[in-house]
Amino acid sequence: MRAAGQEEALDFLRTAYEEALRSYKAGGLPIGAVMVENGSVIAVGHNRRVQDGDPIAHGEMDCLRKAGRRADYSGITLYTTLSPCLMCSGTIVQFGIKAIVVGEARNFSGNIDFLRQHGVDVVLLDNRECFELMARFIRERPELWYEDVGGRDHA
């Protein structure tokens, strides 16, 4: 992993998980993200679609917005609790983010292959906490989950 050592990666993922939990407790989707550069957190975010009424406010997008404009993203590692959707994956590729650490991809396989095909170093941790929080949310709020991923055909 180009990003961080395993222990450091778990610490950053823990921060993303805390963001996901914050969203869940606010009635939103439990997806969190953290941007890291040179071993330091530069932005955190979580899915805000429900809270803000914004259809593209996914966790990764919220994190990118909070980081603000940058001329270069190549030194960034993005940590996310769930495998990114196509919109977020396209944004990762568009901005040239070279490394992403994914908490889990069992509840939603996302677009890991797409990211890898476009030169992104993807590490899948298969984190139990990330998996369990998302599985709980999907059981509790399936209609909101399917809305977030663009319908049952995309889940």
**Residues acting as catalytic residues:** 60
H or E segment to which residue 50 belongs: helix 49-52
Rounded to 5°, the CA angle 143-138-105 comes to 125
DSSP 152: G
Tell me how far apart the alpha carbons of residues 153 and 155 are, in angstroms, rounded to a whole number: 6
Q: Which of 103, 105, 102, 40 is nearest to 67 (CA)?
A: 40
